[in-house]
Chains A and B, each alone.
Chain A
Amino acid sequence: MYLRTGLWAAGLGLAVAIAAGPANAQTPKKGGTLIYMIAADSPPSFDGHRETTFATVHATAPFYSVLIRVPPDNPSSTTDFVCDLCTEMPKATDGGKTYAFKIRQDVKWHDGSKLTAADVAESWKRIVFPPQGTTSARVSYYAMVDKIEMPDDQTVTFKLKYPTTAFLPALADPFTYIYKKEILEKDPRWYEKNIMGSGPFKFASYDIGQSIKGVRNPDYYHKGQPYLDGIEGIFADKQSVRVEALRGDRAAIEFRGMPPSARDQLVKEAGKDVAVQDSDWNCGNIVSYNHKRKPFDDVRVRRALSLAVDQWGGAPALSKIATVRTVGGIVFPGSPLAATKEELQQMAGYWPDIEKSRAEARRLLKEAGQENLKFELTNRNVDQPYKFVGTWLIGEWKKIGVTVEQKVVPTGPWFQAMRGGTFDVVVDANCQSVVNPVLDTGKYLPKKVYPESYGDYDDPKSIELYNKMTQETDPAKQRAAMRAYEKHTLDTEAHGIVTPYWYRIVMARSYVKGWKISPSHYLNQDLANVWLDK
């Protein structure tokens, strides 16, 4: 199983810790309360299985355990996974279709009772096969799972329908909290409004819409952790509040990410009192064309719009003002399955010679009879980076004579426009947690197999290439299959444009140690390894 080899773990340009380096050599100090900002109003509910927002993870992950996770000390790795509740990562048997996890026997719930394999199995059954009346938001991630069994009271076994490299990353999803079976049986929705886990911190209090507090779990099974006595997450959706709170030391860290302007301001004002960590982000904006509307049913028009965009020239400039940076294809740039720069440059929209690229774009538009193309670009009313990316794209398209009007709408109408197909071209988003290229690239499939693909096209070849890539378990062959699928998507059919990947900038007071940035704001949030150098 190549996912666990760790050979690729260095990543490609990931997790550049600017100021956190020296902390690694220090011995963690115990004590103190970490006050952190949560860049949201409040989570809809506490139930990780049900919700998809980071607000839920940032507020509740410290209270829960999961079966496996990304390594807390190296969360930027896109291929390594380690046990949290299991004793060791299992080797797949039965031709890659069975995974048997031995469950730790030293884990206690926060109410003092013992956590068992039955709790783990029940939680996972709820995630993969949600019972009537409950919601599991990521049920589609686990389409490969056939059965979840408990052959003995220390083991949980996952039996798959087919072997796939997508399984372990999906299993490491940070929302997959382990809940107590007894509680789930009494009330399957209890965890929506209540918290009771086995994680490094015990739930202390929640002020609706304001803050959530936890205290150290003295019975935590990862010995020596957590280092903090307590945690307090303060909800603040306004960026200026979060920046000022860090400057005034009312909060020590904000985990989601800030734009470059906020980083520059804070570094200028607080100097050495703040530390910055940054990383490529497994999120990006995608330009989707409505294939049901003319002229976007014409591949020449779509290719022309891709060819007009100067990704290599635009990304460095854009990165100074917006939370984007790295040019990439359909796979997250840090993954072994991602295209190299040379491979990208073979596809429309990534040519190294932008003048040649735009000349071809003009030729294609002329050939399609669309020299004076005008259309509306629907965008989400979110500054970072949607509106920046949208405005940049309009400027790029103008260079080939295309006139675009940007229609910025709130989140609800934005979704409705995409789902209802009432747009010409839209700035969509693809934001994932664990880097799982096989699942993450499903977004580029036709709508009939992937409902959140808003281009509304039918493309049997795309499905064929995707399935071939999905079912391939040999790393080299899978990589080649991914290239074929990517080329078909972005070049041959030009179904969309992948704009530069988002870039995550996390600011903290310099006394915050132990926490390391990952390619997702959903990951590594249990805070067990965080300590304060005060």
Chain B
Amino acid sequence: MYRYIVTRLLLAVPTLVGAAALVFVLMRLIPGDVCVIRMGSGGSHVSQAAVDACRQQLGLNDHIFVQFLSFLGHYFTFDFGISMWSGRPVVQEIATRLPVSLQIAVMATLIAVVIAIPLGTISALRENTWLDHVVRVVAVAGIATPSFWLGIMSIVLVLDITYLATGKAWMPPIDYVSFWQDPIRNLSIVALPALTVGYRYSAVTMRMTRSAMLEVMREDYIRTARSKGLIEQIIINRHALKNALLPVVTLIGIEFAFLIGGLVVTEQVFNLNGIGRLFVQAVQNQDNVLTQALTMLVVLIFVVTNLVVDVLYAWLDPRIRYS
């Protein structure tokens, strides 16, 4: 297993280089550059000399191959560069935002798992009953409702309810503080986004759990277990659920990785200073260095998450062995 993990990690290197090359080229296909945007987006007059000086400073006048080699060279020495927009180290820019995204991702995952696995299982076990129908409606509604819309509605609802109840509209704070700094304030800030994201996440997971459970419950070994006289609880927990969780774990892994960098609109709606929002800013500002670093981070998160999922497979299904 140890050798397998090391091999997988080494295989991640060409994946990362490939992703780096792709994003490097794609970013340079977008017309315009960071200097023009920074100096001209306000609509005021900026001298060409100032724009040229900015380009020179950021190395944008160098040949594209020189830029690419420099970029790769720096990455191999773990120098991720300086943001073209803010002038701060990319590591600092990302490190500031990562805890926010990570916290939302973890909380949303917990919410999803706590809601989705029991409800998905019950739904499958009570197939075509009223309970199954209710769970399916909740799940389909969760998939169909965009998280950002739910986010906006949840804030408006809080404002309206507090206004009707107290005569003064209230909403959670909008300036993030870390959990270790002020746990109550932190939770009041992240609760709504985690719930809204967690709901959609749980809906997807619920559907997957239900269909996987339905499939497993029709397997021969479940029939065998029942014919042996095993009690239903043991059949479900030990034989059915554990096997049904294989595709669910894959889904949870992919969703978790997505949440780290993909919560663009939700982060904007709740004014959370996370990775998703930073990603959009970086692309909008044509901050190539930051965009490249963020892409590499997301690719790395996907690679690591997939690896964790594969390792979990072995734990869930004893037949799976890696060498």
Contact = CB atoms under 8 A, between A and B. Distances in A.
B38 A247 contact: no
Interface string A418-442: 0110000000011111000001001
A497 B174 CA distance: 41
> How many B residues are at the interface, by size bracket?
35 or more
Nearest to A236: B271
A238 interface: yes
B89 to A, nearest CB: 11
B47 A238 contact: no
A241 B269 CA distance: 6
Interface string B28-39: 001111001111
Nearest to A414: B32
Interface of B: 30-33, 36-50, 53-54, 57, 85-88, 92-93, 96-97, 152, 155-156, 159, 168-171, 173-176, 268-271, 273, 277-278, 281, 284-286
Q: Interface residues of A: mostly helix, strand, loop or mixed?
A: mixed
A283 interface: yes
Given A245-B174, A431-B44, A443-B45, A193 B38 contact: no
Best-surrounded residue of B47, B49, B156, B277 (most CB of chain A within 10 A): B47
A237 B268 contact: yes
A412 B31 contact: yes
Interface string A237-252: 1101100110111110
Contacts of B159: 244, 247-248, 269
Contacts of B270: 241
Nearest to B54: A135
Contact of B86 (A44, A249, A443): A44
Contact of A52 (B40, B86, B285): B40
8 contacts: A42-B86, A207-B175, A209-B273, A238-B269, A244-B155, A412-B36, A413-B31, A450-B45
A234 B174 contact: yes
A498 B38 CA distance: 24
B45 A234 contact: no
Contacts of A247: 159, 169, 171
Contacts of A429: 43
Contacts, number: 157
A41 B277 contact: yes
A51 B38 contact: yes
Contacts of A346: none
A137 B268 contact: no
A238 B268 contact: yes
A430 B37 CA distance: 15
B45 A410 contact: no
B53 to A, nearest CB: 5
B36 to A, nearest CB: 5
Contacts of A133: 57
A57 B93 CA distance: 21
Contacts of B175: 207, 210-211, 232, 234
Contact of A208 (B88, B152, B155): B88
Interface in A474-488: none
Contacts of B170: 248-249
A188 B189 CA distance: 40
Given A44-B86, A416-B31, A241 B169 contact: no
Contact of B173 (A54, A250, A412, A417): A250
A452 B40 contact: yes
A209 B155 contact: no
